[in-house]
């Protein structure tokens, strides 16, 4: 089962790298966003009741993608184990976003490196990464925003879904797909509702804080290893708690320390403040580091999957419909080779 998890991870990452994110009209996360948007309204003039509605939304809405994803993989597995593997890889791919993140970060950095006429282009493009007001930011501050987002979204867009998937896949492939989709649902709620000005989103923000606690710190460790500077994680502890989020500061501060750059959101936080703001070259290095860190995090996930698979085998725990999947795969390959020979 650990080998199957590796196969699913490789296929999902490969799809992300080859395709990137599907168009919004075809993306299940965008469909979920429409549901959240419909729920984002004033259900009551009483703030306490509005928060209670938010609790219900936080508890129930992520179950929708989880049920769909888990049911999709379970149904596919009952038809064919190979089809179950393929659909699990598809689900994981749809919960990930790495290529698009790195490409958009590079676009912003490149635009700030050109003449002043491209500064407005950089401001427009960086709005796809951050929600802050960028109208008065300097080129270096725009680069900082893009680099911060790349580090933070590595945790949200890759590590947060890959880790639970890898841990659960040796026990239950449908359960692993459901877990990845559930986490994506939590992240989506937080990104759309988790603002101080929205009482309806308070519960979603708190749930996201809990869910992202481990992925954020794993991401920070992956960034430190990707730069061959494990002590960057220790240095980052001085600023990791500066942002309002209990989690986002860890990957951002670690990247700042590893690259010896300052990352700042004016008036909110200043990470590694004695270093200079990122140059265009620093921005390019940051996207490379984030890409390598993603690979490191996936290796972490594989190691965790192997450990869980070993424990599952020792205690006789396995996903029934997936038993024999590798044998079935080898038999099909053998038949195919025989037909060609």
Residue keyed to tokens 């997936």: 322
- 316 φψ region: left (φ > 0), alpha (ψ -120 to 50), beta (else): left
What pTM does this model have?
0.90
Query: Which two tokens mark 310?
Result: 């070993």
Mean pLDDT of the chain: 90
Q: How far apart (Å, rounded) are the C-alpha atoms in residues 325 and 2?
A: 12
Residue 339 reports pLDDT greater than 50: no
CB 102 within 8 A of CB 150: yes
At 280-317, the pLDDT tens digits run 999 999 999 999 999 999 999 999 999 998 888 887 76
pLDDT (0 to 100) of residue 133: 86
At 140-165, the pLDDT tens digits run 999 999 999 999 999 999 999 999 99
Query: Which two tokens mark 191?
Result: 């990104």
Q: Which residue has the higher pLDDT, 169 or 135?
A: 169
pLDDT (0 to 100) of residue 193: 95
At 126-145, the pLDDT tens digits run 998 888 888 889 999 999 99
3-class DSSP state for residue 254? Answer: helix
pLDDT (0 to 100) of residue 117: 56
Residue 254 reports pLDDT greater than 50: yes
CB 243 within 8 A of CB 224: no
pLDDT (0 to 100) of residue 313: 82
CA distances from 37 to 28, 31, 33, 134, 218 (A): 14, 10, 6, 24, 31
- Specify which residues 269 forms β-bridges with: 265
Packing angle of the helix pair 99-113, 119-126 (nearest 10 deg): 160
pLDDT (0 to 100) of residue 119: 82
168 CB-near residues (< 8 Å, 6+ apart): 175, 176, 179, 308
CA distances from 50 to 34, 206, 307 (A): 20, 15, 43
Query: β-strand 269-271 against 263-265: which pairing, if any?
Result: antiparallel
Q: How far apart (Å, rounded) are the C-alpha atoms in residues 49 and 232?
A: 44
Q: How far apart (Å, rounded) are the C-alpha atoms in residues 256 and 170?
A: 36
Residue 62 reports pLDDT greater than 90: yes
* Length of the chain (residues): 341
Q: How far apart (Å, rounded) are the C-alpha atoms in residues 296 and 290?
A: 10
Q: How far apart (Å, rounded) are the C-alpha atoms in residues 111 and 56?
A: 43
């Amino acid at each position: 089962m650990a080998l199957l998890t590796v196969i699913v991870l490789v296929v999902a990452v490969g799809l992300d790298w080859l395709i990137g994110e599907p168009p919004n009209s075809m993306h299940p996360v965008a469909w979920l966003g429409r549901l959240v948007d419909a729920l984002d309204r004033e259900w009551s003039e009483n703030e306490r009741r509005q928060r209670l509605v938010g609790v219900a939304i936080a508890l129930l809405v992520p179950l929708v993608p989880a049920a769909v994803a888990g049911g999709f993989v379970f149904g596919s597995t009952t038809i064919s184990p190979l089809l179950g593997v393929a659909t699990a890889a598809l689900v994981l791919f749809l919960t990930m976003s790495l290529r698009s993140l790195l490409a958009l970060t590079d676009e912003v950095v490149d635009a700030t490196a050109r003449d002043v006429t491209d500064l407005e282009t950089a401001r427009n493009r960086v709005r796809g990464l951050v929600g802050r007001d960028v109208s008065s930011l300097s080129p270096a501050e725009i680069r900082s925003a893009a680099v911060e987002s790349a580090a933070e979204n590595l945790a949200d867009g890759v590590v947060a879904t890959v880790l639970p998937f890898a841990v659960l896949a040796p026990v239950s492939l449908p359960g692993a797909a459901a877990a990845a989709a559930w986490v994506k649902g939590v992240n989506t709620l937080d990104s759309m509702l988790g603002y101080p000005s929205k009482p309806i989103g308070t519960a979603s923000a708190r749930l996201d804080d809990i869910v992202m606690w481990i992925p954020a710190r794993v991401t920070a460790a992956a960034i430190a290893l990707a730069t061959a500077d494990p002590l960057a994680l220790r240095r980052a502890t001085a600023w990791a708690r500066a942002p309002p989020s209990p989690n986002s500061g860890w990957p951002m501060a670690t990247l700042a320390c590893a690259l010896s750059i300052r990352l700042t959101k004016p008036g909110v936080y200043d990470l590694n403040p004695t270093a200079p703001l990122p140059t265009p070259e620093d921005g390019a290095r940051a996207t490379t580091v984030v890409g390598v860190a993603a690979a490191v995090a996936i290796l972490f996930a594989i190691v965790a999957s192997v450990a869980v698979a070993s424990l599952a085998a020792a205690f006789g725990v396995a996903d029934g419909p997936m038993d024999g999947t590798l044998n079935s795969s080898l038999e099909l390959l053998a038949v195919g080779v025989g037909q060609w020979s």
